[in-house]
Amino acid sequence: MNTQRAKQIFDSKDTIAVKLEGQPVWIEEVDEANGMATVQVGQKPTDVQTVSVDRLSE
């Protein structure tokens, strides 16, 4: 995924399925300048990771 698409998904009112290496995630923030995204992994709100957007897929 590219940074622009990650930002579109983050800004969307729709729920769009996103995965990090096959595991469902929720995008919480997109750092466009650095190509990074903060994502919640699974159902635990405390399980948050910052990853490169190119590791994300739809």
| Res 23: pLDDT | 93
Q: Are 45 and 26 in contact (CB under 8 A)?
A: no
Tens digits of residue pLDDT in 31-56:
999 999 999 998 877 899 999 999 99
Residue 32 to residue 15: CA distance in whole angstroms: 20
pTM: 0.88
The dotted CATH code for 3-57 is 2.30.30
Residue 44: Cβ within 10 Å count: 8
| Res 42: pLDDT | 81
For the chain, the domains span 3-57
Average pLDDT for residues 8-18, to the nearest whole number? 95
| Res 44: pLDDT | 79
